[in-house]
Structure 1
Amino acid sequence: MTLEEKAAQMANGAPAIPRLGVPAYDWWNEALHGVARAGAATVFPQAIGMAATFDTPLMAQISTVISDEARAKHHEFFRNGQHGRYQGLTFWSPNINIFRDPRWGRGQETYGEDPYLTARMGVTFVKGLQGDDPKYRKLDATAKHFAVHSGPEADRHTFDARPSERDLRETYLPAFEALVKEGQVDAVMGAYNRVYGESASASKFLLQDTLRRDWGFKGYVVSDCWAIVDIWKHHKIVATPEEAAALAVKNGTELDCGDTYAPSLPVAVRKGLIAESEVDKALVQLFTARMRLGMFDPPEQVRWARIPYSVNQAPEHDALSRKVAQESIVLLKNDGVLPLSRETKRIAVVGPTADDTMALLGNYYGTPAAPVTILQGIRDAAPNAQVVHARGVDLVEGRDDPAATPLIEPQYLRPAKGSTERGLRGEYFRSRDLSGAPALVRVDSQIGFRWDRGSPTDNLMARGEAHGGQSVPADNFSIRWSGQLLPPVSGTYQIEAAANDGFRLYVDGKLLLDHWDKSDRLRADSVSVKLDAGRAYDLRLEYYEEERDAGVRLAWRMPGAKPPFEEAVQAARDSDVVVFVGGLTGDVEGEEMTVNYPGFSGGDRTDTRLPETQRKLLEALHATGKPVVMVLTTGSALAVDWAKQNLPAILVAWYPGQRGGNAVADVLFGDTNPAGRLPVTFYKADEKLPAFDDYAMRGRTYRYFEGEPLYAFGHGLSYTTFDYGNLKLDRERAASSQAIKVTLDVKNTGTRAGDEVVQLYLKPVDPKHERARKEMRGFQRIHLAPGESRTVTFDITPAKDLRTWDENRDAYSVDPGRYEVQVGASSADVRATKTLTVTK
């Protein structure tokens, strides 16, 4: 290769080199909770929800399914000559940063606040992604973002994280070390920020001294996207792009997600900033990784290439998604109102996320085949009940919320005059201007779609309903829906269309809404139209998508409809029970957002309470005197003090994935006994948290927090009860290198079968220095029938489980002394203890 070719191969979008037989390859792929941004894929609960299962065997099943679908999709792309972004085998997941502060918008992507839980979930996830073949990797997993990275989002390109070395070694690094040493993770992604003054994506301390020298990492490092630019432009560590590129490669970042290496490395070599041999060394690492994935071998030699495309969104994967969602749901409170009776006659489902698909998905998601919202799940589970839905309020104040207006239902639409079908005729084009012959024509019952880097026909192809010429690209496509609108009553209707990107709406041939321009988000507009019952109106909606996220809706409000707030309160008055579904979505909490709302900034939160719009609605619902069950969709901890004091039941559903609605209904009606546990501390609303940009751990998470939480780490209730007893240590005095076996008996003392998450914590009795108050060092999720008992066993070793960082010796050590071995149902619900004495 020429020097320029070498440099180009070190960018995420590596071009083909035809004369050498090297195909183009884009290293950028996502698989946080399912294959993301590559069209149709099974969508599991968001990572924080997977962590709430406290179930590593289940995590192994999840990651195996994800890697099966990823492999199948890659080979289908390859057979069709596609080598683009989100079509490869190198996946930039999992995110194992510690969720140290509930305000961080990307905390939803993590496994929570505890290093031990994060490590166990992360190692299992990596092994499932990378497979067990001795020759070929199934996929490459990537541990990110290395290291000390958890907001604020607005400052991520400029801040310098300087935790104490004790916090670094005891909180921020252990999960990464576990994924490298136990998980054998093949890639690590650097972060945007600095750590002790060095760019995390060009840090000698992190990448050379710690990752490679101390931990023996043999894989490759990729920068976070455009983090190499930050080195010179924002951090100002060096003055030019070529200096930044040379520094990053010298210190161990082989792959640039961005566009700095390709033009700048040849310049850096010619200027003597870096030797070409150092570029060669980095490039060997990258091509070795591609070879381990079998990219240059005949597919028949690669075991993973034989996975058929039919596994994508297979029925068993859909069933697993539902099971994971069931296991992730946390019952925070229950005064006996749950489970709901099947005899309940009238159920009001109220709240802004009850019928919102985005409340299922979080961020970094694929396109689910048939997502089930919580409203639909309740309707499916209670076919004999009258289930009335009222949104009530927008998610947050001041948000132009396209999901606020109800979709036009199928019975009011028909594709042509005289047709008995219901819906609109959809013509799908491979162009963005409705030109050419449509690739697909079908009847869509409602117009309410959201695609994340997915083609509108991906799901049809996955199910075998569309083939070959019927496919539509993920970008630069357009759709025309046409047919007739059949208003049920006469009066003035508010008709609303929303899209990302452009749309035009016609009624009886008249252009009423015209936004045929690009939009960075789902944008809505509405028009008042007088319509007469009994008459059919010609309706046409035209839509185009340019790139990235895509979505389109057609909605209305009928004449005489009450204001949404009043409608919700009236629905509650007329019901036997109210299910309030609210909280957050990935539209307001997430990664470096540019749109801010009250209580939110750059995707982070400035207020940990439920948004004010929802608090006011909850109070009004409660005032009706009807029992109100709260279901929270969220990726982070919410301060729901008022609800804890006033409502009879609270569930946390997280962002529960494609079958989340069914899973929530399964728990509400008792078909599933909840056993999810909180992977983060829920703080009280008036709790004064440490400054968000302070990376010291004092006062943070259950490990260092001295106050009383609203709900503790590890908390979660059940519809049954469990007793703990007979706790034993096989030795109560041990040297640091000796293993100790811990056993206890757990019995289901209730009348229902259920799961219990048995948790083990170690607490220093007389700490010699500042350290964590207690730390999780074991958990097991077990299933017990009524009256059934089981002996649970944990193995601990002081040298591994009680080590702390000795800053004087610059090494880990174990303090001799007494430690309390605690077992229980949460970090605050300790059921039994024993004292362990550790000798030198």
Structure 2
Amino acid sequence: MASSSTTILSFLTPFFLLFLLGFSSAGREPFACDPKDATTKNLPFCKVSLAIPDRVNDLLGKLTLQEKVKLLGDNAAAVPRLGIKGYEWWSEALHGVSNVGPGTKFGGEFPGATSFPQVITTAASFNASLWEAIGRVVSDEARAMYNGGVAGLTYWSPNVNIFRDPRWGRGQETPGEDPVVVGKYAASYVRGLQGNDGNRLKVAACCKHFTAYDLDNWNGVDRFHFNAKVSKQDIEDTFDVPFRMCVKEGKVASVMCSYNQVNGVPTCADPNLLKKTVRGQWRLDGYIVSDCDSVGVFYDSQHYTSTPEEAAADAIKAGLDLDCGPFLAIHSEEAVKRGLLSESDVNSALLNTLTVQMRLGMFDGEPSSQPYGNLGPRDVCTPAHQELAFEAAKQGIVLLKNHGPSLPLSTRRYRSVAVIGPNSNVTVTMIGNYAGIACGYTTPLQGIARYASTIHQPGCADVACTGDQLFGAAIDAASRADATVLFMGLDQSIEAETIDRGGLLLPGRQQELVSKVAAASKGPTVLVLMSGGPIDVSFANNDPRVAGILWAGYPGQAGGAAIADIVFGISNPGGKLPVTWYPQEYVSNLAMTAMDMRSNPSNGYPGRTYRFYKGPVVYPFGHGLTYTKFEHSIASAPTLVSVPLQGHHKSPNATVWGKAIRVTHANCNRLSLAVHVDVNNAGSRDGSHTLLVFSNPPAGHWAPHKQLVAFEKVHVAARASQRVRINIHVCKYLSVVDRSGIRRIPIGEHNLHIGNAKHSVSLQATTLGVIKS
């Protein structure tokens, strides 16, 4: 039987193998400060020995206003008299180096790059170390392509918006619906991308789209005209959490503001969001960029200002540093001339972008002499990188149902397999959106064929599945094979940027095909779903003829190999759903434009995500089965935690309001509780298990009914146990947000749940000496 590496590498094209054997890049010319240019090499901004702020200020002092404004757009103009070349800021690296942005081009020595699973799939691994490892690989390949002259160093990824509504077409790009999971993914992936070399950046990442952005085009409302009406409570409690974690914990170099308005103000023109929050409170060390043409959108489409010059001035004064698009470059000079904007405002924006470029080494002369300067074509699509893509796909696949159990399939018993469905032999479908050109693919059909003889029938012409002309051949194949694997679900024609779904059911006549094939199948029928968003497959979950259901998301270039390894038991599934799977009825009368997270029983509003919705589900957040049996018990945990107070109030009674302490009035330094959990693998297979730690806060009308406070991935051998220490930061994860948007720590009993294990811990306020007024 082929090894994992052989499985993947056997599908590499000979063209790629040539490059893996050692072609070398000719390198690129310096972006600036070419040591061969006598007119610039001694200028202060070119001197690596000087501090970056001094170098930036020197460069700003040498630029004219006309030159400055031409640096405000993503296609920044060259400054030939200072030896500075033009630069395209827009590159993408959501789950691999992408060619969506104009800054990256495949071809020549770089025909493609490793295409990892779509983010929603990788998030299902709940493995933060994996997320960071993927970031490191992606930035290796990005630097290699930059050195080869075909990519930039500024990548507008990741997308850390909350997957609020299951119909959102871009939900696939996100790590799911839980703010803590999304925030931890953001910080981990960004650390992988940017490196840990102090003030130097490997590449510059960007967390987007700030904020409350999670609607593309639904029922006549599009993202360019949408005004998200969001409470202070939901902004602080949900929508901003991942961005704050990305900036404060991930140290991201950029944040992108979104197209939509929030409470009547375009995000890219809102100083409270940009200048006060992102740069002021969170202390972004980097630049703020608009989504593409956002400034033009709030002028042309939203009619937020009367003139384009006012729009340019509003954006820059609000804290915007860079425009994806030409709007600022065209209108900012006139805005200065009219007195709407000062040149010092322009300087402030450029200070942030130029600082990031200097941290990237773009003003340090020859790229080949810098850190990462040795990376080239042989560092792209390496066997190790592709093995990681394979591993990520396996870790992200979620086993939703296993009746019997019927899975895994035995290769001895099931020698022939009917491989059926519109997603059974796909390639680009597996990599989702914001992807590039993959190194090579293992399709589902190719993956299954490594373990059994196959009878392949598509069943539907495509995922739209509008007719039943191909049903007969598929049903016949299932009746002849020892087992049947159906590959159904969605693709980018159903859910994508600019495309939100109308409902949650399988498209067209897919459900009919699944039921008829399962009824006719000679052996067990396994349903494999590819999708970013959840699908209501209640019919299959309730059908005893459907023996197993797997969700693969969009599993990346190695998706077919990973699915086959799970189906045939070479690997043990360990993924868990990062989103709630709702029944179709959930969205029947629910407007995507309704932004409230909390339920409202008085008007029938159901609430959103597992934190606030209590109704029926198809599969809950965190659901995921395995081929073994994991048990947990709490070995030790405190029953009482003291929360020390600090601040300027006269008494603790003034600080403690409604039995909840303001986080800003607590001494949060090292305020955490340690929970030791014994994880026992009682089954006969080794496996990885995700510990999801939920908390039920003390009852309160503004608290979630439960929230995830920690998660940890652990591998446990069969018939073995492992003790896991989980640290829960009290201020960050046991706090809740009141209706005024103030984060507070509820005093009283918090109930922790880890599977069936439960533990109660009481939080009590204590004073630190005299609290002065």
Instruction: Tell me the TM-score normalised to structure 1 length.
Output: 0.76
Residue among 692, 706, 709 paired with 2:614: 706
- Secondary structure at the aligned position of 1:773 is classed as coil
Listed as ranges, the gaps of 5+ residues in structure 2 are 1-62, 100-104, 107-111, 599-606, 645-667, 766-773
Letter in 2 for 1:341: S
The yes-or-no answer on 1:350 pairing with 2:420 is: yes
**Which of residues 716, 727, 737 is equivalent to 1:805?**
737
In the alignment, which residue of structure 2 is the partner of 1:438? none
Question: For the residues of structure 1 that align with 2:285 and 2:521, how far apart are their CA atoms?
Answer: 63
Aligned mates of 2:737, 2:718 — CA distance in 1: 45
2:89 paired with 1:27: yes
Deviation at 1:307, TM superposition (A): 2.0
Structure with the higher fraction of residues in strand conformation: 1
Corresponding residue for residue 160 of structure 1: 227
Pair 1:190 & 2:190 matched: no
CA contact (8 A) 1:165 1:807 kept: yes
State the AA in 1 paired with 2:408. P
Deviation string, structure 1 residues 693-731 (Cα, Å, up to 9, x no partner)? 111002111100111311111111100001112443134
> What amino acid maps onto 2:418 in structure 1?
A
Cα distance in structure 2, aligned partners of 1:18 and 1:669: 61
1:184-333 matches, cutoff 5 A? 184-298=251-365, 299-333=367-401
- CA shift, 1:240, in A, is 2.0
- Alpha-carbon displacement from aligned partner over 1:585-639 (angstroms, at most 9, x marks no partner): 12321101xxxxxxxxxx1111101113211111210221432100001111111
Q: Secondary structure at the match of 1:687?
A: helix
Bigger drift between 220-229 and 358-367 goes to 358-367
Cα-to-partner distance string for 1:153-199 (whole Å, 9 max, x where unaligned): 35100111121111110100111111111111010000000012111
Q: Deviations over 1:809-831 (max 9, x none)?
A: x632212121101112xxxxxx1
Q: Which amino acid aligns with 2:361?
A: G
Match of 1:814 in 2: 745
The code of the aligned residue for 1:307 comes to L
Q: Is 1:663 equivalent to 2:562 in the alignment? A: yes
1:337 aligns with 2:406: yes
Question: Aligned residue for 1:693?
Answer: 593
8 Å CA contact retained: 2:309, 2:335:
yes
Distance between the aligned counterparts of 1:135 and 1:724, measured in 2? 42
CA-based RMSD of the aligned residues comes to 1.6
Q: Whole-Å Cα distance in 2 between the matches of residues 73 and 308 of structure 1?
A: 7
Task: Give yes or no for contact 1:192–1:199 (8 Å, CA) kept in 2.
Answer: yes
2:685 to 749, 752, 756: 752
Tell me how far apart the structure 2 counterparts of residues 42 and 703 of structure 1 sit (CA, whole Å): 35
- In the alignment of these two chains, the number of paired residues is 650
Report the identity percentage.
39
> 1:28-79 deviations in whole A, cap 9, x for unaligned?
00000000014210000000011001001111111000000000000101xx
**Residue number in structure 2 paired with 1:791:** 723
**Higher mean Cα deviation, 700-709 or 681-690?**
681-690
Q: Report the Cα distance in structure 2 between the residues aligned to 1:127 and 1:798, rounded to whole angstroms.
A: 24
1:96–1:131 distance in 2 versus 1, CA, 3 Å: same
1:365-404 to 2 correspondences below 5 Å: 365-380=435-450, 382=451, 385-397=452-464
Checking the alignment, whether the CA contact within 8 Å between 1:761 and 1:822 is kept in structure 2 is: yes
1:176: which partner in 2?
A: 243
Distance across 2 between alignment mates of 1:30 and 1:395:
28
What is the correspondence of 1:71-110 to structure 2 with a 5 Å cutoff? 71-77=143-149, 87-110=151-174
Q: Say if 1:395 and 1:613, in contact at 8 Å, map to a contact too.
A: no
Shift of 1:394: 3.2
The letter of the residue matching 1:622 is A
Cα 1:396–1:625 change in 2 (3 A) is closer
1:46-85 → structure 2 map (5 Å cutoff): 46-77=118-149
Provide the residue aligned with 2:19 in structure 1.
Answer: none
Q: Deviation of residue 688 (structure 1)?
A: 4.3
2:660 is matched with: none
Query: Could you tell me whether the CA contact under 8 Å between 1:192 and 1:224 is conserved in 2?
Result: yes
The answer on whether the counterparts of 1:395 and 1:611 sit within 8 Å (CA) in structure 2 is no
Q: Distance in 2 between matches of 1:27 and 1:662?
A: 35
Question: Could you tell me how far apart the structure 2 residues matched to 1:396 and 1:818 are?
Answer: 49
CA distance in 2, matches of 1:752, 1:176: 39
Structure 2 letter corresponding to 1:607 = G
Q: Say if 2:254 and 2:284, in contact at 8 Å, map to a contact too.
A: no
TM-score under structure 2 length normalisation: 0.82
Amino acid at match of 1:198: V
Q: Is the 8 A contact 1:4 1:262 kept in 2?
A: no
Name the CA distance, whole Å, in 2 between partners of 1:701 and 1:112. 10
In structure 2, what is the Cα distance between the partners aligned to 1:231 and 1:637? 32
Measure, in 2, the Cα distance between the counterparts of 1:386 and 1:688: 41
Aligned to 1:586: 492
In structure 2, what is the Cα distance between the partners aligned to 1:135 and 1:213?
20
Contact 2:144 2:379 (8 Å CA) reproduced = yes
| Alpha-carbon displacement from aligned partner over 1:550-609 (angstroms, at most 9, x marks no partner) | xxxxxxxxxxxx9422111111111111100010112321101xxxxxxxxxx1111101
In 1, the alpha carbon distance for the partners of 2:132 and 2:710 equals: 17
Amino acid in structure 2 at the alignment position of 1:373: T
| Alpha-carbon distance in 2 for matches of 1:292, 1:31 | 19
Partner of 1:715: 623
For each residue in 1:88-107, what CA deviation from the matched residue of structure 2 results, as whole angstroms up to 9, or x when unmatched?
Answer: 00000000000011100000
CA distance in 2, matches of 1:88, 1:60: 21
Q: Contact 2:680/2:719 (CA < 8 Å) preserved in 1?
A: yes
1:431 is aligned to none
Q: Aligned partners of 2:502, 2:764: CA distance in 1, in Å?
A: 46
> SS in structure 2 opposite 1:655?
coil
Paired with 2:348 and 2:731, the residues of 1 have a C-alpha distance of: 36
Q: What is residue 509 of structure 2 aligned with on the other side?
A: 613
The alpha-carbon deviation at position 807 of structure 1 amounts to 4.3
- Structure 1 residue 795 displacement after superposition: 1.3
Given that 2:749 and 2:763 are in contact with CA atoms closer than 8 Å, whether structure 1 keeps it comes out as yes
C-alpha separation in 2, matches of 1:605 and 1:231: 26
For 1:36, the aligned partner's letter is S
Q: Provide structure 1 residue ranges, at least 5 long, that are not aligned to the other structure.
A: 401-561, 593-602, 825-830
Change in 2 beyond 3 A, CA 1:572/1:328: same
Retained in 1: the 8 A contact 2:422–2:463? no
Instruction: Name the CA shift for 1:684/1:339 in 2 (closer, same or farther; >3 Å).
Output: same
Q: Quick check: 1:358–1:586 contact (8 Å CA) kept in 2?
A: no
8 Å Cα contact 1:679-1:714 kept in structure 2:
yes
Structure-2 separation of matches of 1:566 and 1:184: 56
What is the CA distance between 1:648 and its match in structure 2?
1.2
Using the alignment, how far apart are the partners of 1:132 and 1:315 within structure 2? Answer: 24
**Aligned-pair distance for 1:135?**
4.0
Shift of the alpha carbon at 1:253? Answer: 0.7
Report the AA paired with residue 45 of structure 1: P
Structure 2 Cα separation of the partners of residues 672 and 46 of structure 1: 20
Shift of 1:131: 0.6
CA drift of 1:229 comes to 0.8
Partner Cα separation in structure 1 for residue 283 and residue 137 of structure 2: 29
Please say which of residues 733-742 and 787-796 is displaced more in the overlay.
Answer: 733-742
Q: How much has 1:310 moved relative to structure 2?
A: 0.7
Q: Verify: 1:743 aligned to 2:640, yes or no.
A: no
Q: Secondary structure at the match of 2:193?
A: helix
SS in structure 1 of the partner of residue 471 of structure 2? helix
Superposed, which structure 2 residues align to 1:551-630 within 5 Å? 563-592=469-498, 603-626=499-522, 627-630=524-527
